[in-house]
C-alpha cells in the first residue's frame, strides 16, 4: 500500500512469519510492513479485530508485533535489522503455536 519514492536505496533481508523477505534498510518495522502490504499486522486481544499501524509515532500501540521472540513491541519505534525475526500477532498464528 506504500512505495518508496525513487527506490534506489539499500535493502536487507528479515524473516516475517517464517518467510525471508526483502525490505528497505533504515526504515521502521512498521514502515517495512506497510511497504510489503502485510496488513493487518495483528488481531486485537479483546475481540480479535484486525489492526495495523495507525499513528506511526509511538502513541496508539496498534502496531504491536513479535520481534525476535518478544511479543508486543511497537513496530513504528523499531528500525529494521538484517536477520530480525518478525511475527505478526495474528489470530491464526496464535492457533498454530498453541
Partner 1 sequence: MQSAYQMVVIGAGPAGMAAAQTAARQGVEVAVIDEQPHPGGQIYRNVNASPLADIDLLGKDYVFGRQLVQGFEYAHLDYFANSGVWFLDRAGELGIVQDGVHRRVSAQRIVIACGAQERAMPFPGWDKAGVMTAGAAQILMKSAAMVPSEAPVLAGNGPLLLLLAWQYLRAGVRLRAIVDTAQSANRWPALRYFPQAIAASDYLFKGLKLVSAIRRARVPWFREASDLRALGEERLSALHFTCRGKPQHIDTTLLLLHQGVIPALQIAAAAGCETRWNSLQQCWQPQVDDWGQSSVDSVFVAGDAAGIGGARAAWLGGQLAGLQLAHQLGLIDAVKRDKLAQPIRKARARHLAIRPFLDTWYRVAESSLVPGDETLACRCEEVSVGEIRTLAAMGCTGPNQAKAFTRCGMGPCQGRFCGSTVEQVFASETAASPQQIGRFNTRPPLKPVTLGQIAGIAHNEQR
String of contacts with ligand FES for each residue 6-45, x by CB under 6 A: ------------------------x---------------
Residue of 59, 71, 83, 92 interacting with ligand FES (CB under 6 A): 59
Question: Residues 19, 48: contact at Cβ < 8 Å?
Answer: no
Classify strands 42-43 and 50-51 as parallel, antiparallel or unpaired. Answer: antiparallel
Cα–Cα distance for residue pair 65/10, rounded to 1 Å: 24
Cα–Cα distance for residue pair 7/40, rounded to 1 Å: 24
Task: Return the range that interacts with ligand FES (CB under 6 A); candidates 9-17, 31-39, 53-61, 65-73.
Answer: 53-61
> Which residues contribute to the site for ligand FES (CB under 6 A)?
30, 53-56, 58-63, 74, 76
Amino acid at each position: 500500500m506504500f512505495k518508496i519514492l525513487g527506490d534506489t536505496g539499500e535493502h536487507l533481508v528479515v524473516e516475517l512469519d517464517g518467510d525471508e523477505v526483502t525490505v528497505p534498510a533504515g526504515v521502521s518495522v512498521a514502515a517495512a510492513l506497510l511497504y510489503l502490504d502485510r496488513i493487518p499486522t495483528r488481531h486485537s486481544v479483546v475481540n480479535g479485530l484486525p489492526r495495523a499501524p495507525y499513528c506511526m509515532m509511538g502513541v496508539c500501540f496498534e502496531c504491536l508485533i513479535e520481534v525476535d521472540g518478544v511479543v508486543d513491541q511497537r513496530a513504528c519505534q523499531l528500525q529494521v535489522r538484517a536477520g530480525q525475526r518478525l511475527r505478526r500477532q495474528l489470530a491464526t498464528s496464535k492457533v498454530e503455536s498453541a
